Amino acid sequence: MRIVDVENLWKVYNRRKEALRGISFHVESGEIFALLGPNGAGKTTTVKILSCISKPTSGKVEVMGYSVPDQCSKVRERVGVVPQEFQGFSDLTVEENIKYFVKLYRGEESQVEELMKTLDLLEYRKTRFRNLSGGYKRRVAIACSLAGDPKLLFMDEPTVGLDPRSRRDVWNLITEVKRRGISVLLTTHYLDEAQKLSDRIGIIFNGKIVRLSTPGELMEEFRKQSLEEAYLALMESLGDV
Ligand SMILES: Nc1ncnc2c1ncn2[C@@H]1O[C@H](COP(=O)(O)OP(=O)(O)OP(=O)(O)O)[C@@H](O)[C@H]1O
């Protein structure tokens, strides 16, 4: 089943800037799909449209069978979003931040405890958000995104700015999320991350999708040992040097 379905999606900012020029792709239920591409390619724009923050200019966008933007209220209730810059309530504790989101989604009080346990946050439950390290702030962001029991999670650059250890921790959390049957669409600049985590990848370049494949297929196509090398070879073939 297609949990995300995008066909011929265009986004034109201010009637001039063509950020997306007719992209099509889909995400299967249960998979981790990574959107890759250089700065300004259109990744964040795509995630913003799918998560109902920004409106498409034209094209078909369906998220969990609901049409975007017409049925965005349904979409918002059902998807989790981990934005690039999650701004928790800085003066509230970890527990209070998570509780806020659980209440927002009308979840059970017991979910707060469960989420803190899953995200390994129990030790920091009384710590104010602003006093947490970057890695733990990201954990809180992920906990809050899971508060509505979503079947689909959008993550924009989930490990940007984290140290190697914290990145691994977030990778493990994303794998755990998948194990629980939640589909994930993420954007990343880290090709090792995409290689490790994703079932399929979509590469955006200048507002167009230039490849839809698996990390393995792209590495085979360019006869490279890593996704990063294969990606760089693809970019070179497109004249992005
Ligand atoms: N609100 C906006 N108004 C006008 N142009 C915008 C707006 N948001 C993004 N753009 C432009 O649209 C293009 C795509 O931007 P987008 O942020 O989607 O790229 P990205 O692939 O996420 O880049 P990055 O990797 O740097 O985050 C860029 O040229 C950007 O300058």
Q: Is the CB of 42 under 6 A from ligand 1?
A: yes
3-state secondary structure of 105: coil
How confident is the model at residue 84, as a pLDDT? 80
| 150 C-alpha to ligand 1 centroid (Å) | 27
| DSSP H stretches of helix in the chain | 43-50, 72-78, 94-104, 110-118, 134-145, 164-179, 191-197, 215-221, 227-237
**163 pLDDT higher than 90:** no
Please give the structure tokens belonging to residue 45.
């724009």
pTM of this prediction? 0.93
Q: What is the pLDDT of residues 72-119, one digit of tens each?
A: 999 998 999 998 888 889 999 999 999 999 999 888 889 999 999 988
| DSSP H stretches of helix in 24-65 | 43-50
Q: Is the CB of 110 under 6 A from ligand 1?
A: no
**241 pLDDT higher than 70:** no
- For the chain, domains (ranges, CATH) are 2-237 (3.40.50.300)
Instruction: Report ipTM (2 d.p.).
Output: 0.96
Q: Is the CB of 14 under 6 A from ligand 1?
A: yes
Q: Which atom of ligand 1 is nearest to the CA of 207?
A: 14
Q: Which atom of ligand 1 is nearest to the CA of 84?
A: 27
Sheet containing strand 66-67, strands side by side? 17-28, 2-13, 58-63, 66-67
Asked whether the beta carbons of 34 and 154 are under 8 A apart, the reply is: no
**185 pLDDT higher than 90:** yes
Residue of 44, 47, 157 to test ligand 1 pocket, by largest number of atoms within 8 Å of CB: 44
Judging by beta carbons within 10 Å of its beta carbon (0-12, 13-18, 19+), is residue 206 exposed, middle or buried?
middle
- Residues 167, 111: Cα–Cα separation, whole Å: 25
